[in-house]
Chain A
C-alpha cells in the first residue's frame, strides 16, 4: 500500500486533486481512499489531504502518519507544516517550487528522493491559475501511472465542471507537471 500526504492552502484544490487521483487509481484497478484533513475550512489556511493506494482492499480507517509521498502544493508550507515529518526516509518529497531539488534538500534535510516542479509558473503560463493540477500530473509521474489513463480520468473528472477552454488549459497544465516531474529529480542523498 502507498500513502500520500498533500500539503496545501485552503482554496488551492488539494482535496480536489486527491479525489481525482483516487479516481485515476481506481481506473487502473487499484483500491483507493482519499480524504481531507477534517479541520476548519478557511481560505488560505494550511490544509492536508491524503490518499491510500493498494492492490488489496483497504480496510484501515485511521489517519496517515508515515506517508510514502509528501506533496507540497504551497512552498511557504515547507517550514511551518513540516511536510517531511513521518515521511518514509526512502519516500518521495514533491515540492511546487522554482528551487532545485538540491536546494530543497538543504532546506529540509530530507534524505530520500526529491522532485521539484514549478507548478506556479505552469499555472501562470497555461492560464489555469491553480497549482494543484500540475502537482497532480507530477504525482502521476512519480507513481508511474499510465499517462493516457490518468489524462482520460482527469478529462472526465473536470469535464463537467469547466468550459472547453479551461479544460484544455488544465490538461496542458497536467501534462506540464507530469513532464517536469520526470525531469527534475534527485535520488537519495
Chain B
C-alpha cells in the first residue's frame, strides 16, 4: 500500500513488521521519532517487543548486545553524537558477530554543534565491522531495513548492519512509500534462529571471552570472512526482495545512465536523487553524464565499481564528510578500486553538504560542467557551495 509518510515512519513501519524481540534506544535529533513511533506501537499492543528506554546510546547498544547474545532479534536507531557514543559497542557487536540492525539518521558531528545532515557519523563507524547501506529515499530506507535483517542474520555473515538515511532530508520529509503487506514482509524476514543463545541454559556458552596474542588475530580474520561473505548474501537477499516487492533493485549500486557516460558522479544517499535530475538536464543538452549511487558502502564492492566506471573520462566522487588530513573516504574507496585497471578515468573529489548545507540541481550541474576541464587526477579537495 502506498502511503505519504516520513522516513521516520517508514523505518518504524519496517521495524513493526520485523517485530524484533528487543529495541533499546535513546532519543537524539533527527532520529527520535523512529523511537517515538515504535514506542507507540509497543504501547498500543501492535508488537510484542521489549522496549528498553536507556540512559544513553552507549547503554542502548550495550543492551542490544546483551539481548542479541541472549538469542533475541534486536534493532536500534541513532544519529550523530549518539553514534559517536555507541561506536565503542558497535565494534564489540561486530567482534561478537551479533546481527544487530541499526537505523542511522545521518547528522553532522560536533563541534560546532549542528543537527543537520552529513555523513560524518557513518564515516566514524566506517571501520567498526558493521555492514553499511545508504538509502536515497524513505522507500529505500524501508526496503533496506527489511533486507538488513536477513543480511545480518545470515550465518555466513552474522554482523551488525547500519542502514543510513539522511537526517531531515529523508527522516522528516513526507514522501510516497510503498509498504509491503505485513504477511509478505514477515514471511520475507522470516523467523530468527538464534545462534548459541545465552538463554539456552541446557547448552551453556561463553560470549565475549578474552583472546590475547594466541587467538585475537584468528578471530579478527574470521570476522573479515563474514564481511567478505556479505556481498554475495546482499545480492541474494536483494534479488529475493526485488521479486516479492516488485522493485528494480539489482546490484551493489544503482547505475543511472552510466553505461555510455563520459562524466560521472559517485554519491551516497539522498543527494543521488538530486544528481539524477542534474543528469537528466544535461543529457537533454547532449552531454553524456551519469551517476553511480552505492547502496552497499561497507563492504565496498570495489571490483564491480571499477568495472562500472572504467569507461568514463572523468569521475567526480562526492563525500559528505571530511576525513581530516586526507581525501574523502568514498573517494579513496573509488581510487583504490580503480588502481588495478590499466586504463583509468581521471578522478576528482568534491566535499559537499556538511552540516546540512543544501546541494541543489544547479550545484551539481556546475560540477558536471567542470569535469571536462579536469586534466588529471587531483589529490586535492574541491568544495560544493562553500563560501571562501
Contact = CB atoms under 8 A, between A and B. Distances in A.
Interface string B81-119: 000000000000000000000000000000000011000
B169 to A, nearest CB: 5
B56 interface: no
Which of A26, A32, A59, A65 counts the most chain B CB atoms within 10 A? A59
Interface in B172-212: 172-176
Contacts, number: 62
B4 A61 contact: no
Contacts of B358: 62-63
Contact of A62 (B170, B172, B174, B274): B274
Contact of A38 (B115, B176, B270, B274): B115
Contacts of B361: 60, 62
B370 to A, nearest CB: 19
Contacts of A65: 360
Interface residues of B, number: 26
Interface in A19-63: 19, 22-23, 25-26, 31-36, 38, 58-63
Contact of B274 (A26, A31, A60): A60
Contacts of A36: 172
B4 A34 contact: yes
B174 A22 contact: yes
Contacts of B2: 26
Contacts of A35: 168-169, 172-174
Contacts of A58: 175
A14 to B, nearest CB: 13
A43 to B, nearest CB: 17
B356 A63 contact: no
23 contacts: A19-B174, A22-B175, A23-B4, A23-B174, A26-B176, A31-B176, A32-B176, A33-B173, A33-B175, A34-B174, A35-B172, A35-B173, A36-B172, A38-B168, A58-B175, A60-B273, A61-B169, A61-B173, A61-B271, A62-B359, A62-B360, A62-B361, A65-B360
Interface of B: 2-4, 30, 115-116, 166, 168-170, 172-176, 270-271, 273-274, 276-277, 356, 358-361
Interface of A: 18-19, 22-23, 25-26, 31-36, 38, 58-63, 65
